[in-house]
């Protein structure tokens, strides 16, 4: 995950920037760079590999400017070369970026047609040219950024400095974190409070969609619509802790909000963003073409990730999938075809039942692929291949970001297997990869519904029972939604396949029963409408989580609708997980529950 640092002050900043970048090394990176203004002109030093390479180059060519930006790059678009390293610059502006600019191809074509010349393989370079283009129209640096930001799609954080503007540093945040640090005659930008800890403990976190103009004297904040905004200063103790809550009340809230960034990072590990193809970061010890079946086993939320993946492996790789919770699978004496593939999914990599299922499958001659977040865990060590989720440490007991990262990895595997088996042609693979690349941006969009979800949570908090319904991949997500609500609010909740409603749960429905329906406008939507009619006819309170067409086409009386952006249906379960998680979170907060450490639950279950 890329790291961003920016400083605007009165004395040379390059050394401080490198010091701060060192504190972001934990995020993982493969090249680094710094830009400052020397005698008012933009100057850059960049290096492949670790920070010591950058530091050595800076010793040879010290940078003197008192305003600067620095970056550790974790390659997504384009190889980790010096040329692709940030900052990227034109003769007007230099920029560093964390995240993905989804529409970079369109923008690059548009700007190339207007005479801009691109020198790198990165998505970031379009940002530098877009801002330059606005400046060439006569806009000030600040107005150019304001005009450029709404044209960028995706989840990102950005920091800019400008030729001839020694007192100006601009930052922007949309779906990837960015914080402002307050100093004496010096102001800072950083990916997190840790990066800023050597300079200050007084921090302002940008809200999603915010941008900020920094001078040595202070900061002016603007919201997504460009209006001035007030953002609070907070005191952090980041220097002492590697993991802190940022400006969130709970780890769970922080982890929900980190998802665009960590899902983007995870996708970048498995996809070639430039060519639009799956590129697995490991050799497989088997040929996907020879597989006849996949078995998936896991517990809890990880099991639901596996259940969603079953749909993807079947649809894209044309492979039958058998899936079971690990505590059942391990004792079933399940017959397995020799040379088959077992996929185990686990955040911690230590869950006792999942480990036992893995060992059983190994004895049965299966190849073992594990999708794990802790790469040093027992499950990882005992697997033939480890497909890492790059969610970072998950502290909240209720899994959120590990879940969506598991989905991201499993989706990449399903598409990769599909193309290896000839079940997907290159065009379809590229379409699916483009859909996956849009996931972080769509998740960031979903955050805009948070105030509405918070209000809805006040109603949900009064319920005794809640039903979640969905079809296709939204059926396992309904199960996950019910689990999340149960885990942290202790409200009884059940998830059902919408088509099963008539076979039992409909008996529960009355005026007191909220029914949460996860239904984008997809191929099975009309069937779900019939199920919603059945609920409405019995007075149930329907909460629709769906897109604008789903709302418009259904003619059902809704108690509330949570509008999701339009998206291709294939991987909709990934962004739809966000409102589902936020609803459980806010309900538990309204009820005053211990969100991060719910009663009776453990983060890592190492007993049967
Ligand atoms: C516990 C946690 C859940 C998690 C499950 C499986 O129940 O509270 O959040 O989904 O274990 O854990 P794993 O580490 O294997 O994903």
User: For 518-573, what is each residue's pLDDT tens digit?
Assistant: 999 988 888 888 889 889 888 899 999 999 888 888 888 889 999 999 999 999 99
Residue reference for tokens 């480990």: 355
Instruction: Beginning with the edge strand found earlier in the chain, give each strand of the sheet holding 41-48 in spatial order.
Output: 41-48, 31-38, 67-73, 3-8, 187-190, 179-182, 202-205, 234-235
C-alpha to C-alpha distances, 215 to 72, 167, 333, nearest whole angstrom: 23, 5, 67
Q: How far apart are CA 472 and CA 424, in angstroms?
A: 20
122 lines ligand 1 (CB under 6 A): no
406 lines ligand 1 (CB under 6 A): no
CA of 321 to the centre of ligand 1 (A): 22
Q: How far apart are CA 250 and CA 564, in angstroms?
A: 24
Q: How far apart are CA 216 and CA 409, in angstroms?
A: 43
Q: How far apart are CA 304 and CA 443, in angstroms?
A: 19
User: Apex CA 371: angle with CA 365 and CA 373, to 5°?
Assistant: 140
Spans of the chain below 50 pLDDT? 240-241
- Specify whether the CB–CB gap between 570 and 555 falls below 8 A: no
253 lines ligand 1 (CB under 6 A): no
Kindly indicate whether the domain formed by 246-437 is annotated with CATH number 3.40.50.10110: no
Q: Which residues contact 444 (CB under 8 A, 6 or more apart)?
A: 155, 174, 175, 208, 260
Which candidate in 50, 64, 245, 603 is catalytic? 603
- Specify whether the CB–CB gap between 375 and 382 falls below 8 A: no
The CATH code belonging to domain 443-595 is: 3.40.50.10490
Amino acid 606: pLDDT = 56
Q: How far apart are CA 170 and CA 69, in angstroms?
A: 10
352 lines ligand 1 (CB under 6 A): no
399 lines ligand 1 (CB under 6 A): yes
Q: Delimit the domains of the chain by residue range.
A: 3-240, 246-437, 443-595
Amino acid 240: pLDDT = 45
Q: Say if 246-437 and 443-595 have the same CATH topology.
A: yes
CA of 384 to the centre of ligand 1 (A): 22
Q: Which residues contact 560 (CB under 8 A, 6 or more apart)?
A: 452, 456, 459, 543, 544
CATH topology assigned to domain 3-240: 3.60.20
- Specify whether the CB–CB gap between 195 and 5 falls below 8 A: yes
Active site residue 405: no
The number of the ligand 1 atom at minimal distance from the alpha carbon of 300 is 10
CA of 284 to the centre of ligand 1 (A): 26
Q: How far apart are CA 474 and CA 321, in angstroms?
A: 18
- Specify whether the CB–CB gap between 238 and 192 falls below 8 A: yes
Amino acid 352: pLDDT = 86
354 lines ligand 1 (CB under 6 A): yes
CA-proximal residue: ligand 1, atom 1 (nearest): 603
Longest Cα–Cα distance of the chain, Å, equals 76
- Specify whether the CB–CB gap between 233 and 239 falls below 8 A: no
Residue 355 phi, psi dihedral angles, 5° rounding: -65, -40
């Amino acid at each position: 995950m890329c790291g961003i640092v920016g400083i605007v002050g009165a004395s040379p900043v390059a050394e401080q920037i490198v010091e701060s970048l060192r504190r972001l090394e934990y995020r993982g990176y493969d090249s680094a760079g710094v830009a400052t203004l020397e005698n008012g002109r933009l100057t850059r030093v960049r290096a492949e590999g670790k920070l010591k390479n950058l530091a050595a180059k800076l010793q040879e060519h010290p940078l003197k400017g008192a305003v600067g930006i620095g970056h550790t790059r974790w390659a997504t678009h384009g190889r980790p070369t010096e040329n692709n390293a940030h900052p990227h610059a034109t003769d007007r502006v230099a920029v560093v970026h964390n995240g993905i600019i989804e529409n970079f191809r369109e923008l690059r074509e548009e700007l190339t047609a207007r005479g801009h010349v691109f020198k790198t393989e990165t998505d970031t370079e379009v940002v530098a040219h877009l801002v330059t283009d606005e400046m060439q129209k006569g806009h000030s640096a600040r107005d150019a950024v304001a005009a450029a930001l709404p044209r960028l799609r995706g989840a990102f954080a950005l920091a800019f400095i400008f030729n001839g503007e020694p007192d100006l540093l601009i930052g922007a945040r949309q779906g990837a974190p960015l914080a402002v640090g307050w100093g004496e005659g010096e102001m800072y930008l950083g990916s997190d409070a840790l990066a800023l800890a050597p300079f200050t403990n007084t921090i302002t976190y940008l809200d999603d969609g915010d941008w900020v103009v920094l001078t040595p004297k202070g900061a002016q904040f603007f919201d997504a619509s460009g209006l001035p905004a007030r953002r609070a200063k907070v005191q952090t103790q980041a220097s002492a802790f590697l993991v802190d809550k940022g400006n969130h009340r709970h780890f769970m809230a922080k982890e929900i909000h980190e998802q665009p960034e960590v899902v983007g990072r995870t996708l970048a590990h498995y996809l070639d963003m430039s060519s639009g193809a799956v590129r697995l970061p490991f050799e497989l010890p088997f040929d996907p073409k020879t597989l006849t079946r996949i078995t998936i086993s896991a517990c809890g939320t990880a099991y639901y990730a596996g259940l969603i993946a079953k749909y993807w492996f079947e649809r894209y790789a044309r492979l039958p999938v058998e899936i079971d919770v690990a505590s059942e699978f391990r004792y079933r004496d399940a017959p397995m075809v020799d040379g088959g593939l077992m996929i185990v999914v686990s955040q911690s990599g230590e869950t006792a039942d999942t480990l036992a299922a893995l060992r059983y499958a190994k004895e049965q001659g299966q190849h073992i692929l594990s999708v794990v977040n802790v790469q040093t865990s027992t499950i990882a060590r005992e697997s033939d291949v480890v497909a890492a989720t790059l969610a970072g440490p998950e502290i909240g007991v209720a899994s959120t970001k590990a879940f969506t990262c598991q989905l991201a990895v499993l989706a990449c595997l399903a598409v990769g297997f599909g193309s290896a088996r000839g079940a997907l042609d290159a065009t379809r693979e590229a379409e699916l990869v483009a859909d996956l690349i849009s996931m972080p941006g769509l998740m960031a969009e979903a955050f805009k519904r948070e105030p509405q979800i918070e209000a809805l949570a006040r109603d949900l908090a009064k319920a005794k029972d809640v039903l979640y319904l969905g079809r296709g991949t939204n059926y396992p997500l309904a199960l996950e939604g019910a689990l999340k609500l149960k885990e942290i609010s202790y409200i009884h909740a059940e998830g059902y396949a919408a088509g099963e409603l008539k076979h039992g749960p409909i008996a529960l429905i009355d005026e007191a029963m909220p029914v949460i329906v996860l239904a984008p406008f997809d191929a099975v939507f009309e069937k779900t409408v019939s199920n919603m009619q059945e609920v409405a006819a019995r007075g149930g309170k329907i909460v629709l989580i769906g897109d604008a067409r789903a709302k418009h086409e259904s003619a059902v009386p809704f108690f509330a609708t949570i509008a999701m952006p339009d998206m291709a249906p294939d991987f909709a379960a990934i962004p739809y997980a966000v409102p589902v998680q936020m609803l459980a979170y806010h309900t538990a907060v309204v009820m005053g529950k211990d969100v991060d450490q719910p009663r009776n639950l453990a983060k890592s279950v190492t007993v049967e």
